[in-house]
Structure 1
Amino acid sequence: MLKLKALKGSEGIQLEAVVDASVFSKRPRSPSKQQNGWTFLLSVNVYGPPHQSSDVATRLSTVSAYLQHPYSLPGNMRYDNPQFFKLPGVAVDMNTFVGTAQLLASRKAELAEDVFRVLDSDSLLSGEGDSDQLTIEGLKTALHKHQEIAVTFVLDRESVEKVRMLHKKMAIVQAPSTASDGTAFGGIIADRMGLGKTLSTLAAILKSLERSRDFATGIAGRTHATLVVVTSAQLIDVWLTERSSHLIKDALKVAIFHGQNRAKRIKDSADFDLVLTTYGTLASDHKSKGPLHQIKWYRVVLDEAHWIRNSSSKQFRAATSLESRSRWCLTGTPIQNSLNDLFSLAEFLRLPPLEAKHAFNTRVITSLTTGTTDAKSTLSSYLQAFCLRRNLGSINLPPSRTVVVEISLSKRETMDYKAILNDAKRRMDATVSRKNITTYNTLFTTILKLRRFCDIGTLALQGTQRLGLAPDAEDTACGFCSSTDDDILSLLNSHTLCPFCFRHLQPASPLPDSGPKSSLGGISEPSSSGEFPTKLSRVLMNITEDDPDSKHIVFSCWTATLDLLSERLTSAGIGFLIIDGRISSAKRQQRLDKFRTEPSIRALLMTIGTGGVGLTLTVANRVHIVEPQWNPSVEDQAIGRALRIGQSRPVIVYRYLTRNSVEQNMANFQEKKKNLARATIDGGSDETIDDKLAVRYPPSLPAKRLHPY
């Protein structure tokens, strides 16, 4: 609604709110005490004299607001949309479009639900049946059956003959010319986290070495190497570890293109089978037209490919600018916010029939409006042809369960929590009364303070510096914005919010690897005079009272939370280790090895940004998610460190949630986010701070949307 303020001062403009009467019959008769509001879909019609239409269009465009077709209009009212493209000399009866927006929204929802149904199905996207046992020279580890199917899937999608047969089956007349023979190669490996996508990819690279060398032989500017793009330097180490663990020494010759000392150009690229780099380095290379973009690769693989889901991001532009014979996306979460995420992957892949954005608009969006083709069939056939997805049911893991641990704040904590809220209300009232644009900053800061308070309680008021918190108490909620790599941070220099975890971004310096260490590698702090946090007391109880043979991973946003836990674990004589941004990469690996091998180390405390992605920690059979995240996939990634191939014990996942707090709002927001992604094509594109604060929306209802006209 704030965008409608742009019309203030425009002569003769009137607004009319339109609501579907059926929503009132669905209103809860007995709302809960915590439910202070009720939200429903609202359409706003804008009325005015014809001579003002250009002014209305200009005013709305300046605030990125665009008029949609109205759901309904009274009587014989004439409808004209000044932002609608009209060809010169061609008359258009705009009244024929009245009501089509609602129809289009309904069709989009049906389409989104159909795609999710395909992705969630155990019977679909499981490969082309049983594959023959593969013999792969250089591989010393026996692949699981689902990994063999993945290797066969990759090889088939890179075979000229089999891809042509596939195109014929899909009735594609002409494919894009990404290869010399006019055929596009590649696809999406969308297996759930923990199914071994990295090993499957390494095995496919090994199996196709002869084919890749034929591609590059005698042709300048080509290389037989596969370029793998990962999220951080830590993930480069993961790929190197997988290579050394499962491949015979020197079976694949690897080059690392990352860091300040990386070569200005890749010399003798013909000697490498695999080149590893990061999205940050790739974006930097694209900007300088560096060596990665001067070579035609045999294969490009995007690990954690959802990192390019924002088509306006540097990493998306850099990745789509690469030249290669085949392109692959590895991601357990191909859709996080909306179907737009999937279309970004499709634009990188360049696979028919959705090889570019205009193709998607023509074959999907236009067909939804006009009904000329079956959009559902187009997307479904695309996924069936080019996407491989298996759930954890594909492997025989021990049973796992999730325990939601609800926390009630103590009386003292409740008083202090309310004091933070009241202070925020006073400051917001003051800024609103002065029409100060810092209102949202106040809201962000309040949310962060409340989230921090749910973890460390009254100790949050005892002095932030001692607890390792920046004055603004910013969290490190994902590997993207919490990275200390300069080239990764460069991806964020034009953002005010992290595009992955929505953290408010401010300049910060990496914390040094310092502080008093416990005998087992933890970082201890002296006790504060404040009350020990209720939530952390429960976390400690679940660790200390568990079977001594159990191993625990504790994930939190904040180092302060980990430091307080380490203090009590030391007092209880529980062996533990800490891994966070203060620990160097070399020391991280030492601590991970120690956690895996030493029975006396029962707990590993990790910030979710540094340990939530890429690690294999199947030695642990207990996972603690201390606080909810805005993006539920961040939590799923963290849990996947233990719940994956190699796990031999039942796993319990503890999710801690503070009652009557911002954390309950976050849990509701997670559900809303999932439902919006399932219900719309672009449901995640308009998230604002309002969505995060006003999360009283029942999960079954859509968020508010502005529909002028």
Structure 2
Amino acid sequence: MDPSRRKKRRLEDEWEQQAQALQAAPTSYSTASRITPQNSYSHSSQWPDSESGVNMMDTNQAHNFLGQGLAEPCASEIPPNSKISTAGDTLVCYGMVTRFHGKYTRTANDAHQGSNEFPVVIESSSKFTALFSPESSGTLGSEFVDVFEELLRQPSLILQAFCAASDVHSHPTGQSRLRFGPVAVPCSLSIIVYGPWDLCEDVGEFFQDLDMYLQDPRGCDMEVKYCNPHRLSSLNIDNCPMTSDPSLTCLNLDQDLFENITQDNDVLGILDAHQDLPEAPQPEVILPSLKRHQKQALSFLLERERGWNFDPRSSDFWDLMQTSQATCFVNRISSSAHRDEPPEFCGGIVADPMGLGKTLTMIALVATDRSEGLYNNPRPGMPSPVRMPSLILVPPPLLDTWKEQLSQHVRRGGITWRRHYGKEKLTEADDLSLYDIVISTYHTVTGDWGGGHKASNSVLFSTCWKRIILDEAHVIRNTQSQMARAVCALDGRSRWAVTGTPIQNRIGDLSALLKFIRAHPYDDAKQFELDIGQMWKTGDIEEAAKRLKNLSSSLILRRPKTVIDLPPRVDLKFPVNFNAAERKLYDKLKHQIIARADEAFSDGEPGAASNSYITVMQRINALRMVCDLGLHYDTRHDLALSGDKSSGDAGDWSRVAQQAFNLQREMDLVACASCRASCDTTTALLDCEPSPVQPVFAQCLAFLCSDCVQRCARRNKPVTCGHGTAHPFAPVSVSWTALEESRDLASGGGAPGGAASSLAQIGLSSKVKALVSQLAHLPSGEKSVVFSSWRMTLDLVQAGLKQQNIKFVRFDGKVQQKNRQPIIDKFRNDGTVQVFLLTLSCGAVGLTLTEACRAYLVEPHWNPAVEEQALARIYRLGQRRKVTTVRYFVRDTFEERVLDLQESKRKLEEVLLEKKGHGAQEGFDHLEGLRRLV
């Protein structure tokens, strides 16, 4: 143990004296020093690298003691010669300590317990048993034996203990292993400590010498005063609350500091429809019972795969009108009449919000192919369904997600599938009729297409697929990109675009999806713009909304999240105050930014404005890191990269271009100066494959996509920004890994890489301190996910968690693909792991983490859609507990302004109207926008 033996002996002597006095009293509770509670409760605490446990008396003793009552002893019951005064003899609760790790052996007796948290009896300093089953026992880690030995030696202390153990059923072989004998699983113990008031200070000193801190208790069985020696409020027993006080159920921070976030209506709610669809039968090969909304979705999918329905009572926007003189087809959207029948169309857009189980729904659609007589009856005159596989295209990060979903939810042999990716590509010799599904990536399709020159040699383009399903279909919203053109060139009978965000930046995003599904006449972007888009821009909002809803009702399946029975979700903001040193550092950088911006405005030259804009962006990155890291961030790193005098040199620009590009696309939509193809962070989250030709970014903020760079190379034309004075270009990456890597570069690779070693000198930053404190005060059964844009922030959070002995796992861009699933499985299955650290770029897509019920966003992101994608990992189908989200921000910093900016991006008119403006004035506009933020 860490305390000196002399201090321990002094404390032991004092406890022995108090124990003798207590034993002399007519009513003594010394024999109750080893009891276990009736209810099951665990709680987190601030502990370093150690684990805890408790020693308790047997079950009968516990029941007998509780039956005696725990009222404060009367004065008449205290002997005159007692060394304990009436007030000092009062039984109080000192608080809770947690995270004493060990091993718990599950037996058949507790295999079906409804909770993984339960009360335990501590038999010795190293062993405990479950209260409900003495046969189920566990052992404490060896590093905690001395701690409990000292606690158990004191007869005046009462210990209430709980165990949180991993669920054996969470492991694939756990249930079968349990049939052959007991199974040992990791566990964590928590104890609530009770004792006489006058020992409060000594108990506090004992734990503090061990770097252990008493936290607010949860689930106390004893109705006594709560007097925590580690809190100033416990100095006067009269001011201490009772253990039943409702305020103790809050986090150990002032609850008044939390601010509720009002959830605005979803801007895409205008597309909501199809709430009263019939339910399709459950496909036999799908293992889990489909939810009601999924069966309704299946009805929509099957109906759409039957082609146009010209019945005026249908929801399709084409009507067949017949008179004695003519037959025509009327477009309900534009009210225009046409003699020719619209081209055959099968498919649509599945745009349910994130978390409603769209992937399983699409797998169920493929499963209906096994019973075509039941599900797939074509309309009269239409050909029978094609007996070919369905082609599913996904971003690379989602390949494992689809594999997991198919493995978990489909009966063995019910659906056959394979990949067309990397070394697993199909060849002409492969028999496609053997498979129900072929999974590939957008990048693979683009490579196989080769600008149209390689298509004839590719299995993908020489096959007429039963259906083509695009997962995260918004990645093709740039209709002029090579990727979008390649995907649209695929041949399939039915075409489905699946995305939770069909409109991200402008209404034109939707037209790209309509082009893919070939919904005539709106597969032509010009016709879509003429009939719908133009009305938004001319101010006829009501008619535009009506037309968009009519189009949605026939082609798009989107329901609000309320169609599923999710538990409530509470969204909170938590303001953090800098300490004096942090504020001084932040203000220094802030004043530099303002001075540089003012200097550019006084110069009046657009070129100077653009150069200053880059410098300001770099220093804003420094401000962002200071908000997270506090004094762990050394400003010299960032300022060294943003030297004002060298900003015009092309070589220097290539060094900082990636940082500038990343911040620019985080703040706003970046569009190609040539083809206007857009690029932002939501697309980057789905892209981890490098392009053969990198896009470029100019010092004047002009961006050229990789397709346009390739086009210039083929024509032997130089890449230019289009300004009178040419600005230097530099290659940049649009992938999500580049977002993390450049942020590390911005810091010069410095602190807090050594966060653990520098913690003693600097301490945690104010923001990270608040986060770790809240995590340390959560019940051990509540798992949390912490999101940050920065690896360096996670480094500091990680150091804080280690200091408090909070077990965690971590997943960022440096984790290899093969190691990612084991990390996820450990978080899901190990009951002692309570925190998942994730970078936004890794955690915003493709994960299901419903084991967690709390999410923490360490800093605000420019794009609220990225935050919602991250939170949807937790708040989605399968979540059974109330979800709490907490967004941190530092008061009186640019982070407050970013939150205001998020609100404007949630407004419908901002999303549906495309921004315009490009030229010399643009540099001043950008610079002024940044200046307002700081």
Q: Distance in 1 between matches of 2:621 and 2:301?
A: 44
Confirm or deny: 8 A CA contact 1:231 1:480 kept in the other structure.
no
1:197 to 358, 370, 378: 358
Structure 2: stretches of 5+ with no match in the other structure: 1-264, 321-327, 332-340, 639-654, 667-680, 706-729, 742-752
Q: How far has the Cα of 1:425 moved from its partner? A: 4.3
Q: How far has the Cα of 1:641 moved from its partner? A: 0.7
Alignment CA distance shift 1:539-1:300 (3 Å):
same
1:126 to 267, 274, 282: 274
Q: Name the SS of the counterpart of 1:238 in structure 2.
A: helix
The aligned runs of 1:194-593 (5 Å cut-off) are 194-209=355-370, 224-232=388-396, 234-259=397-422, 262-263=425-426, 267-287=430-450, 289-290=454-455, 291=458, 292-365=460-533, 375-427=544-596, 433=603, 435-436=607-608, 437-461=610-634, 478=681, 480-481=683-684, 485-487=688-690, 489=691, 493-494=695-696, 506=732, 525-527=756-758, 529-593=761-825
Q: Considering only CA atoms, is the larger Rg found in Structure 1 or Structure 2?
A: 2
Deviations 1:420-462, CA, capped at 9 Å, x for gaps: 2233345556677484443332232122222222111221117
Deviations 1:273-297, CA, capped at 9 Å, x for gaps: 2122222223323335342333332
Q: Name the SS of the counterpart of 1:131 in structure 2.
A: coil
Q: Distance in 1 between matches of 2:785 and 2:415?
A: 33
Q: Distance in 2 between matches of 1:460 and 1:693?
A: 25
Alignment CA distance shift 1:680-1:167 (3 Å):
closer
Alignment CA distance shift 1:602-1:421 (3 Å):
same
Q: Distance in 1 between matches of 2:388 and 2:476?
A: 24
Relative contact order higher in (CA < 8 Å, ≥ 6 apart):
1
Q: Aligned AA for 2:632?
A: L
Confirm or deny: 8 A CA contact 1:401 1:653 kept in the other structure.
yes
Q: Name the SS of the counterpart of 1:152 in structure 2.
A: helix
Alignment CA distance shift 1:696-1:460 (3 Å):
closer
Q: How far has the Cα of 1:376 moved from its partner? A: 4.2
Q: Aligned AA for 2:294?
A: Q
Structure 2 partner of 1:599: 831
Q: Distance in 1 between matches of 2:506 and 2:864?
A: 14
Fraction of identical pairs, as percent: 28
Alignment CA distance shift 1:333-1:361 (3 Å):
closer
Q: Aligned AA for 1:139?
A: I
Structure 2 partner of 1:654: 886
Structure 2 partner of 1:144: 291
Q: How far has the Cα of 1:574 moved from its partner? A: 0.6
Q: How far has the Cα of 1:568 moved from its partner? A: 1.2
2:346 to 185, 196, 208: 185
Confirm or deny: 8 A CA contact 1:164 1:183 kept in the other structure.
no
Deviations 1:363-421, CA, capped at 9 Å, x for gaps: 235677699x9544432211011111122211111111011111222221121112222
1:608 to 840, 856, 859: 840
Q: How far has the Cα of 1:130 moved from its partner? A: 3.0
Alignment CA distance shift 1:631-1:161 (3 Å):
closer
Aligned residues: 554
Deviations 1:478-530, CA, capped at 9 Å, x for gaps: 5743678334x55863567799xxxx98468897xxxxxxxxxx997432544
Q: Name the SS of the counterpart of 1:402 in structure 2.
A: strand
Structure 1: stretches of 5+ with no match in the other structure: 1-115, 512-521, 700-709
Q: Distance in 2 between matches of 1:296 and 1:552?
A: 46
Confirm or deny: 8 A CA contact 1:253 1:274 kept in the other structure.
yes
Structure 1 partner of 2:857: 625
Q: Distance in 1 between matches of 2:552 and 2:600?
A: 50
Alignment CA distance shift 1:562-1:459 (3 Å):
same
Q: Name the SS of the counterpart of 1:227 in structure 2.
A: strand
Q: Name the SS of the counterpart of 1:135 in structure 2.
A: coil
Alignment CA distance shift 1:328-1:603 (3 Å):
same
Structure 1 partner of 2:906: 674
Deviations 1:174-215, CA, capped at 9 Å, x for gaps: 599xxx994111111111111100000000111135659999
Q: How far has the Cα of 1:345 moved from its partner? A: 1.7
Confirm or deny: 8 A CA contact 2:317 2:550 kept in the other structure.
no
Structure 2 partner of 1:88: none
Alignment CA distance shift 1:696-1:446 (3 Å):
closer
Structure 2 partner of 1:59: none
Alpha-carbon RMSD across the aligned residues, in angstroms, is 4.0
Q: Which shifted more, 257-266 or 405-414?
A: 257-266
Q: Distance in 1 between matches of 2:301 and 2:918?
A: 36
Q: Distance in 2 between matches of 1:538 and 1:187?
A: 47
Q: Distance in 2 between matches of 1:339 and 1:161?
A: 24
Alignment CA distance shift 1:681-1:424 (3 Å):
closer
Alignment CA distance shift 1:581-1:264 (3 Å):
farther
Confirm or deny: 8 A CA contact 2:573 2:888 kept in the other structure.
yes
Q: How far has the Cα of 1:539 moved from its partner? A: 1.1
The aligned runs of 1:101-180 (5 Å cut-off) are 119-120=268-269, 124-132=272-280, 134-160=281-307, 162=309, 166=314, 170-171=318-319
Confirm or deny: 8 A CA contact 1:622 1:653 kept in the other structure.
yes
Q: How far has the Cα of 1:570 moved from its partner? A: 0.9
